[in-house]
Amino acid sequence: MKLLVTGGAGYVGSVCAKVLLEAGHSVTVLDNLTTGNREAVPAEATFVQGDVPDMASEILADGGYDGVVHFAARSLVGESMEVPEEYWRDNVVATLGLLEAMRRHEVTNLVFSSTAATYGEPEQVPITEDMATNPTNPYGATKLAIDYAITSYAQAHGIGATSLRYFNVAGAYGEVGENRDVETHLIPLILQVALGHRDKIFIFGEDWPTPDGTCVRDYIHVRDLAHAHELALETNRPGSHRIYNLGSGDGYSVREVIDMCRTVTGHPIPAEVAPRRAGDPATLIASSRKIMEELGWDPQYTDLETIVTDAWAFTSQLGDRAHSARRARTVTPSR
Protein backbone atom coordinates (compact mmCIF):
# COMPACT_ATOMS: atom_id res chain seq x y z
CA MET A 1 0.00 0.00 0.00
CA LYS A 2 1.05 3.61 -0.50
CA LEU A 3 0.64 5.19 2.93
CA LEU A 4 0.73 8.62 4.53
CA VAL A 5 2.03 8.44 8.11
CA THR A 6 1.41 11.67 10.01
CA GLY A 7 3.62 12.19 13.05
CA GLY A 8 6.07 9.62 11.70
CA ALA A 9 9.04 11.39 13.30
CA GLY A 10 7.69 10.75 16.80
CA TYR A 11 8.35 7.70 18.96
CA VAL A 12 5.44 5.42 18.02
CA GLY A 13 5.09 6.91 14.52
CA SER A 14 8.72 6.28 13.58
CA VAL A 15 8.66 2.66 14.81
CA CYS A 16 5.43 2.11 12.86
CA ALA A 17 6.89 3.68 9.72
CA LYS A 18 9.84 1.30 10.01
CA VAL A 19 7.61 -1.77 10.50
CA LEU A 20 5.33 -0.77 7.60
CA LEU A 21 8.33 -0.29 5.28
CA GLU A 22 9.68 -3.69 6.30
CA ALA A 23 6.28 -5.19 5.44
CA GLY A 24 6.69 -3.85 1.89
CA HIS A 25 4.51 -0.73 2.04
CA SER A 26 5.58 2.62 0.66
CA VAL A 27 5.58 5.38 3.30
CA THR A 28 5.43 9.16 3.20
CA VAL A 29 6.04 10.67 6.63
CA LEU A 30 4.48 14.06 7.38
CA ASP A 31 5.72 15.70 10.59
CA ASN A 32 6.16 19.34 11.63
CA LEU A 33 9.09 18.35 13.90
CA THR A 34 7.65 20.28 16.87
CA THR A 35 8.29 17.24 19.04
CA GLY A 36 9.50 14.69 16.49
CA ASN A 37 13.09 13.95 15.47
CA ARG A 38 14.06 14.08 11.80
CA GLU A 39 16.70 11.40 12.36
CA ALA A 40 14.03 8.95 13.61
CA VAL A 41 12.36 8.88 10.18
CA PRO A 42 13.50 5.74 8.32
CA ALA A 43 15.77 6.49 5.36
CA GLU A 44 13.46 4.55 3.00
CA ALA A 45 10.49 6.85 3.77
CA THR A 46 9.75 10.05 1.88
CA PHE A 47 9.80 12.88 4.41
CA VAL A 48 7.71 16.05 4.25
CA GLN A 49 7.93 18.70 6.98
CA GLY A 50 4.59 20.40 7.58
CA ASP A 51 1.30 20.48 9.44
CA VAL A 52 -1.87 18.46 9.39
CA PRO A 53 -4.22 19.12 7.69
CA ASP A 54 -2.88 21.52 5.03
CA MET A 55 0.21 19.61 4.00
CA ALA A 56 -1.61 16.27 4.36
CA SER A 57 -4.15 17.53 1.85
CA GLU A 58 -1.39 18.53 -0.58
CA ILE A 59 0.26 15.13 -0.25
CA LEU A 60 -2.99 13.22 -0.78
CA ALA A 61 -3.75 15.42 -3.80
CA ASP A 62 -0.73 13.84 -5.53
CA GLY A 63 -2.90 10.73 -5.83
CA GLY A 64 -2.32 7.03 -5.47
CA TYR A 65 -2.54 6.89 -1.67
CA ASP A 66 -4.26 3.82 -0.23
CA GLY A 67 -4.32 4.79 3.41
CA VAL A 68 -3.41 7.13 6.26
CA VAL A 69 -1.94 6.26 9.65
CA HIS A 70 -2.54 9.28 11.87
CA PHE A 71 -0.19 9.78 14.82
CA ALA A 72 0.41 13.54 14.69
CA ALA A 73 -1.01 14.95 17.94
CA ARG A 74 -0.30 16.77 21.17
CA SER A 75 -0.02 14.08 23.85
CA LEU A 76 1.02 15.44 27.26
CA VAL A 77 -1.75 15.05 29.82
CA GLY A 78 -0.47 17.79 32.15
CA GLU A 79 0.02 20.26 29.32
CA SER A 80 -3.49 19.52 28.04
CA MET A 81 -4.90 20.68 31.40
CA GLU A 82 -3.01 24.00 31.07
CA VAL A 83 -3.61 24.81 27.39
CA PRO A 84 -6.66 22.77 26.35
CA GLU A 85 -7.36 25.13 23.44
CA GLU A 86 -4.14 23.97 21.78
CA TYR A 87 -5.22 20.34 22.16
CA TRP A 88 -8.64 20.98 20.65
CA ARG A 89 -6.99 22.84 17.76
CA ASP A 90 -4.03 20.54 17.07
CA ASN A 91 -5.82 17.26 17.75
CA VAL A 92 -9.49 17.71 16.92
CA VAL A 93 -9.58 20.57 14.39
CA ALA A 94 -6.52 19.22 12.56
CA THR A 95 -8.00 15.72 12.34
CA LEU A 96 -11.33 17.05 11.03
CA GLY A 97 -9.31 18.70 8.27
CA LEU A 98 -7.49 15.44 7.60
CA LEU A 99 -10.80 13.56 7.34
CA GLU A 100 -12.04 16.15 4.84
CA ALA A 101 -8.82 15.82 2.83
CA MET A 102 -9.27 12.04 2.78
CA ARG A 103 -12.84 12.46 1.59
CA ARG A 104 -11.85 14.97 -1.09
CA HIS A 105 -9.09 12.75 -2.44
CA GLU A 106 -11.03 9.49 -2.00
CA VAL A 107 -8.66 7.83 0.44
CA THR A 108 -10.81 5.56 2.59
CA ASN A 109 -8.39 3.56 4.79
CA LEU A 110 -7.49 5.12 8.16
CA VAL A 111 -5.73 3.93 11.32
CA PHE A 112 -5.94 6.36 14.22
CA SER A 113 -3.71 6.53 17.27
CA SER A 114 -6.14 6.66 20.21
CA THR A 115 -5.48 6.10 23.89
CA ALA A 116 -6.49 4.43 27.15
CA ALA A 117 -6.98 8.00 28.44
CA THR A 118 -10.39 7.92 26.69
CA TYR A 119 -11.61 5.63 29.51
CA GLY A 120 -10.50 7.81 32.46
CA GLU A 121 -10.74 6.12 35.86
CA PRO A 122 -12.04 2.61 35.02
CA GLU A 123 -14.77 0.94 37.04
CA GLN A 124 -12.95 -2.36 36.71
CA VAL A 125 -9.93 -3.95 35.07
CA PRO A 126 -9.07 -5.36 32.63
CA ILE A 127 -10.66 -2.66 30.49
CA THR A 128 -12.72 -3.82 27.53
CA GLU A 129 -13.79 -1.63 24.61
CA ASP A 130 -17.45 -1.64 25.68
CA MET A 131 -16.71 0.05 29.02
CA ALA A 132 -17.72 3.67 29.68
CA THR A 133 -15.49 6.43 28.33
CA ASN A 134 -15.03 9.22 30.88
CA PRO A 135 -11.75 11.00 30.08
CA THR A 136 -10.34 12.92 33.05
CA ASN A 137 -8.23 15.36 31.02
CA PRO A 138 -8.46 17.31 27.73
CA TYR A 139 -5.92 15.02 26.06
CA GLY A 140 -8.21 12.00 26.50
CA ALA A 141 -11.28 14.10 25.64
CA THR A 142 -9.80 15.25 22.32
CA LYS A 143 -8.89 11.69 21.34
CA LEU A 144 -12.40 10.50 22.22
CA ALA A 145 -13.94 13.35 20.21
CA ILE A 146 -11.89 12.25 17.21
CA ASP A 147 -13.09 8.66 17.66
CA TYR A 148 -16.67 9.95 17.43
CA ALA A 149 -15.87 12.02 14.33
CA ILE A 150 -14.30 9.00 12.64
CA THR A 151 -17.43 6.92 13.35
CA SER A 152 -19.53 9.59 11.63
CA TYR A 153 -17.22 9.68 8.62
CA ALA A 154 -17.32 5.89 8.38
CA GLN A 155 -21.13 5.87 8.45
CA ALA A 156 -21.72 8.84 6.14
CA HIS A 157 -18.73 8.85 3.82
CA GLY A 158 -17.50 5.27 3.65
CA ILE A 159 -14.20 5.69 5.49
CA GLY A 160 -12.89 2.33 6.75
CA ALA A 161 -11.13 3.03 10.02
CA THR A 162 -9.58 1.53 13.12
CA SER A 163 -8.84 3.40 16.35
CA LEU A 164 -6.17 1.75 18.47
CA ARG A 165 -6.34 2.64 22.17
CA TYR A 166 -2.81 2.32 23.48
CA PHE A 167 -2.00 1.55 27.08
CA ASN A 168 1.60 2.23 28.23
CA VAL A 169 3.83 1.98 25.17
CA ALA A 170 7.50 1.28 25.88
CA GLY A 171 10.58 -0.41 24.46
CA ALA A 172 12.40 0.38 21.22
CA TYR A 173 13.11 -1.12 17.83
CA GLY A 174 16.83 -0.92 17.16
CA GLU A 175 17.79 2.67 16.56
CA VAL A 176 14.25 4.06 17.03
CA GLY A 177 12.92 4.61 20.52
CA GLU A 178 11.81 7.18 23.08
CA ASN A 179 13.82 10.40 22.74
CA ARG A 180 11.78 13.44 23.69
CA ASP A 181 12.85 16.96 24.67
CA VAL A 182 10.29 16.87 27.48
CA GLU A 183 10.21 13.41 29.03
CA THR A 184 7.42 12.52 31.46
CA HIS A 185 7.18 8.73 31.02
CA LEU A 186 8.30 6.32 33.68
CA ILE A 187 10.65 3.91 31.86
CA PRO A 188 12.71 6.50 29.92
CA LEU A 189 12.99 8.63 33.08
CA ILE A 190 14.27 5.66 35.11
CA LEU A 191 16.79 4.84 32.36
CA GLN A 192 18.01 8.45 32.44
CA VAL A 193 18.81 7.86 36.13
CA ALA A 194 20.74 4.71 35.19
CA LEU A 195 22.70 6.75 32.64
CA GLY A 196 23.54 9.35 35.31
CA HIS A 197 21.49 12.11 33.63
CA ARG A 198 19.16 12.35 36.64
CA ASP A 199 19.91 11.78 40.33
CA LYS A 200 16.83 9.72 41.17
CA ILE A 201 13.36 8.70 40.10
CA PHE A 202 10.34 10.08 41.94
CA ILE A 203 7.58 7.59 42.71
CA PHE A 204 4.29 9.45 42.41
CA GLY A 205 2.49 8.15 45.50
CA GLU A 206 2.74 4.92 47.49
CA ASP A 207 -0.70 5.07 49.08
CA TRP A 208 -2.70 3.82 46.09
CA PRO A 209 -5.11 0.89 46.51
CA THR A 210 -2.67 -1.55 44.83
CA PRO A 211 -0.59 -4.47 46.19
CA ASP A 212 2.54 -2.37 46.91
CA GLY A 213 0.82 1.04 47.06
CA THR A 214 2.25 2.32 43.75
CA CYS A 215 0.30 2.71 40.50
CA VAL A 216 -0.13 -0.30 38.24
CA ARG A 217 0.12 0.02 34.44
CA ASP A 218 0.01 -2.28 31.42
CA TYR A 219 3.22 -1.91 29.37
CA ILE A 220 3.12 -2.87 25.69
CA HIS A 221 6.17 -3.21 23.44
CA VAL A 222 6.22 -0.64 20.66
CA ARG A 223 6.98 -3.36 18.07
CA ASP A 224 3.83 -5.31 18.98
CA LEU A 225 1.92 -2.04 18.85
CA ALA A 226 3.30 -1.26 15.39
CA HIS A 227 2.30 -4.68 14.12
CA ALA A 228 -1.31 -4.02 15.19
CA HIS A 229 -1.35 -0.96 12.89
CA GLU A 230 -0.26 -3.11 9.98
CA LEU A 231 -3.06 -5.63 10.69
CA ALA A 232 -5.62 -2.83 11.00
CA LEU A 233 -4.62 -1.32 7.64
CA GLU A 234 -4.86 -4.68 5.92
CA THR A 235 -8.35 -5.44 7.28
CA ASN A 236 -10.15 -2.05 7.27
CA ARG A 237 -13.40 -2.16 5.32
CA PRO A 238 -15.19 0.92 3.91
CA GLY A 239 -18.03 2.09 6.15
CA SER A 240 -16.77 0.44 9.30
CA HIS A 241 -15.00 1.97 12.32
CA ARG A 242 -13.47 -0.52 14.76
CA ILE A 243 -12.00 0.32 18.15
CA TYR A 244 -9.43 -1.94 19.82
CA ASN A 245 -7.46 -1.76 23.06
CA LEU A 246 -3.76 -2.53 22.87
CA GLY A 247 -1.95 -3.73 25.96
CA SER A 248 -0.25 -6.86 27.21
CA GLY A 249 -2.96 -7.72 29.76
CA ASP A 250 -0.39 -7.72 32.59
CA GLY A 251 -0.07 -5.01 35.21
CA TYR A 252 3.21 -3.87 36.79
CA SER A 253 3.57 -1.44 39.68
CA VAL A 254 5.93 1.54 39.57
CA ARG A 255 8.16 -0.25 42.08
CA GLU A 256 8.20 -3.42 39.95
CA VAL A 257 9.22 -1.38 36.91
CA ILE A 258 12.04 0.30 38.85
CA ASP A 259 13.25 -3.11 40.09
CA MET A 260 13.25 -4.50 36.54
CA CYS A 261 15.27 -1.48 35.37
CA ARG A 262 17.76 -2.14 38.21
CA THR A 263 18.10 -5.76 37.08
CA VAL A 264 18.51 -4.92 33.41
CA THR A 265 20.91 -1.98 33.82
CA GLY A 266 22.83 -3.17 36.89
CA HIS A 267 22.48 0.37 38.29
CA PRO A 268 21.11 0.98 41.85
CA ILE A 269 18.64 3.65 40.54
CA PRO A 270 17.83 5.69 43.65
CA ALA A 271 14.10 6.30 44.12
CA GLU A 272 12.18 8.70 46.33
CA VAL A 273 8.48 8.76 47.12
CA ALA A 274 6.77 11.99 46.02
CA PRO A 275 3.10 13.10 46.15
CA ARG A 276 0.56 11.56 43.81
CA ARG A 277 0.40 13.09 40.32
CA ALA A 278 -2.93 14.76 39.53
CA GLY A 279 -5.14 12.76 37.20
CA ASP A 280 -3.38 9.39 37.63
CA PRO A 281 -5.73 6.40 37.96
CA ALA A 282 -4.51 3.70 40.40
CA THR A 283 -4.62 0.79 37.96
CA LEU A 284 -4.90 0.56 34.17
CA ILE A 285 -4.84 -2.87 32.54
CA ALA A 286 -6.12 -3.62 29.06
CA SER A 287 -8.09 -6.49 27.74
CA SER A 288 -6.78 -6.92 24.19
CA ARG A 289 -8.85 -10.01 23.58
CA LYS A 290 -10.96 -8.31 20.90
CA ILE A 291 -8.06 -7.48 18.55
CA MET A 292 -6.52 -10.90 19.18
CA GLU A 293 -9.74 -12.67 18.27
CA GLU A 294 -10.83 -10.45 15.38
CA LEU A 295 -7.50 -9.59 13.74
CA GLY A 296 -5.29 -12.39 15.02
CA TRP A 297 -2.95 -9.91 16.77
CA ASP A 298 -0.32 -12.02 18.48
CA PRO A 299 2.10 -9.93 20.59
CA GLN A 300 5.65 -11.32 20.70
CA TYR A 301 7.41 -9.15 23.28
CA THR A 302 5.04 -9.18 26.23
CA ASP A 303 7.38 -9.62 29.18
CA LEU A 304 8.59 -6.52 30.98
CA GLU A 305 12.22 -7.66 30.89
CA THR A 306 12.27 -7.63 27.06
CA ILE A 307 10.59 -4.23 26.98
CA VAL A 308 13.11 -2.71 29.40
CA THR A 309 16.08 -4.47 27.75
CA ASP A 310 15.18 -3.04 24.33
CA ALA A 311 14.53 0.42 25.80
CA TRP A 312 17.90 0.30 27.61
CA ALA A 313 19.77 -0.76 24.44
CA PHE A 314 18.29 2.27 22.68
CA THR A 315 18.73 4.77 25.52
CA SER A 316 22.29 3.78 26.32
CA GLN A 317 23.45 4.08 22.69
CA LEU A 318 21.75 7.47 22.50
CA GLY A 319 23.74 8.43 25.57
CA ASP A 320 25.40 11.75 26.12
CA ARG A 321 24.73 13.14 22.65
CA ALA A 322 20.99 13.42 23.24
CA HIS A 323 21.50 14.55 26.82
CA SER A 324 23.73 17.47 25.79
CA ALA A 325 21.31 18.49 23.05
CA ARG A 326 18.42 18.37 25.52
CA ARG A 327 20.32 20.47 28.08
CA ALA A 328 21.16 23.08 25.45
CA ARG A 329 17.47 23.57 24.72
CA THR A 330 16.60 24.09 28.45
CA VAL A 331 13.02 22.95 28.62
CA THR A 332 10.71 22.70 31.61
CA PRO A 333 8.64 19.54 32.03
CA SER A 334 4.94 20.26 32.30
CA ARG A 335 4.05 17.23 34.36
Contact residues toward ligand UDP (CB under 6 A) are 168, 184-186, 189, 201-204, 215, 217, 254, 277, 280
C-alpha distances (whole Å) from 140 to each of 116, 129, 144, 153 are 8, 15, 6, 20
Q: How far is the CB of 47 from ligand UDP (least distance, A)?
A: 28
Range 142-166 burial, b when 16+ CB lie within 10 A, else e:
bbbbbbebbbebbeeeebbbbbbbb
What is the number of the residue whose Cβ is closest to ligand UDP? 215
* Amino acid (1-letter code) at residue 259: D
Instruction: Give the C-alpha separation, 163 to 180, whole Å.
Output: 24
- Candidates 304, 27, 12; CA nearest to 180 is 12
- Please report how close the Cβ of residue 245 comes to ligand UDP at its closest, in angstroms: 14
CB of 217 to ligand UDP, least distance (A): 5
Closer residue to ligand UDP, CB minimum distance, 47 or 202: 202
Q: Which is nearer to ligand UDP, 21 or 273 (CB)?
A: 273
Cα 267 from Cα 228, distance rounded (Å): 33
| C-alpha 91, offset from chain centre | 14
Q: Between 75 and 108, name the residue whose CB sits nearer to ligand UDP.
A: 75
Residues with a catalytic annotation lie at: 139
Residue closer to ligand UDP (CB basis): 153 or 208: 208
Task: Give the dihedral sign, CA 277/257/286/291.
Answer: positive
HSE on the CB side for 2, CA within 13 Å?
A: 9
Give least dist CB 202 to ligand UDP, A. Answer: 5
